[in-house]
Amino acid sequence: MCERGGIQRAGSRPCINPRSLIYPCPVIDWVGYGWMAGEATGPSPFFADLTIEVPRGDVVAAAAFTGFSMGQWEHQPGTAAVFLREYGQYDASGKAQVVDASPDPANGVFAIHDCFFVRFRMTVQQGNAFARGLVFRLAADDTAMAATVPGLSTRDYRVTFGGKLSGKHRIMTLARGSRLPAETILNRASGEAARFFGVERREVAVTTVRGRRGGGRGRRGSTGPRLA
C-alpha cells in the first residue's frame, strides 16, 4: 500500500514481480538514456546522478557500467556501483508519488507501472567509472500514441562540499510540457549527499553548469504530475 505524503519506501517493491525475471514487452515505443561519469582519489567517494523525465506509462529502467578502472587506497581496492535511486509514478488512486529505492547495486533493473521519471545514481571511490541509465517505455493500446513528443532538454549541475567537487547531477526533461519537479529532486539528492558526508544540508552547494535543448522525437504519452 502506498504511504501518504508523496514518498514511499521501496521495501515491498510493488512494481516488481519477484517470482519472474520476464516482463511482458510487446512493443517499446520510447527510449530515454543518459550518461554518468566520475572519478575519485583517496577515501572520499564521488557520485553522479541522472534524472530522466518519462512520457507517462509503464517502463523498464536499467543501469549498467560501460567502463571503469579501479585503483587502491591503503592496500584496499576501489569500489564502484550504479543503481536506480528513486522513481516517480501514479498510485492506484491517480496520485503522484515518489518511491525511494535503497542505494543497493542489486537495484539495477526495475519494471515500473505508470511512471513519470527515474533517477539513477553512480558512485565511485579510488577509481574512474562510466555508466549509462536507460528507460524503455512500453506501448499502450491507445490511438493517441501515434503523435510525437518533443525532444529532451538537458541541464547539468555541480555538487560541492567545502568548495570541493563531490558529485554531479544531470536532469533530462521533456522539452515541451514538462512538469518534472526538478528543484524538489535536486534538493532531495543534495540532502542525501549531506547525510552521507555527515554535514548540514546548507553546507552542500548545487550550481548549474549548462543547459541544452535536445531535438529528438518519440511517441507521445501523458504529461507529468504536480508533486506537493
> Per-residue pLDDT averaged across 103-108, rounded?
85
Please state, in angstroms and rounded to a whole number, the distance separating the CA atoms of residues 63 and 68. Answer: 14
Q: Is the pLDDT of residue 154 over 90?
A: yes
pLDDT above 90 (res 86): yes
User: pLDDT tens digits, residue range 172-203?
Assistant: 999 888 989 999 999 999 888 888 888 888 88
- Does residue 152 register a pLDDT over 90? no
pTM, two decimals, is: 0.79
Return the closest-CA partner of residue 152 out of 176, 118, 170, 181. Answer: 176
pLDDT band (50, 70, 90) for residue 122: very high
Cell numbers for 130, please give them: 562510466
**What gap in Å lies between CA 186 and CA 171, rounded to an integer?**
9
pLDDT digits (tens, 9 = 90+) for 106-116: 889 999 999 99
Domains of the chain, residue spans: 26-219
Nearest to 196 by CA among 125, 91, 120: 125
Cα separation of 70 and 44, whole Å? Answer: 14
Q: Which residue has the higher pLDDT, 220 or 38?
A: 38
Q: 17 or 131: which carries more pLDDT confidence?
A: 131
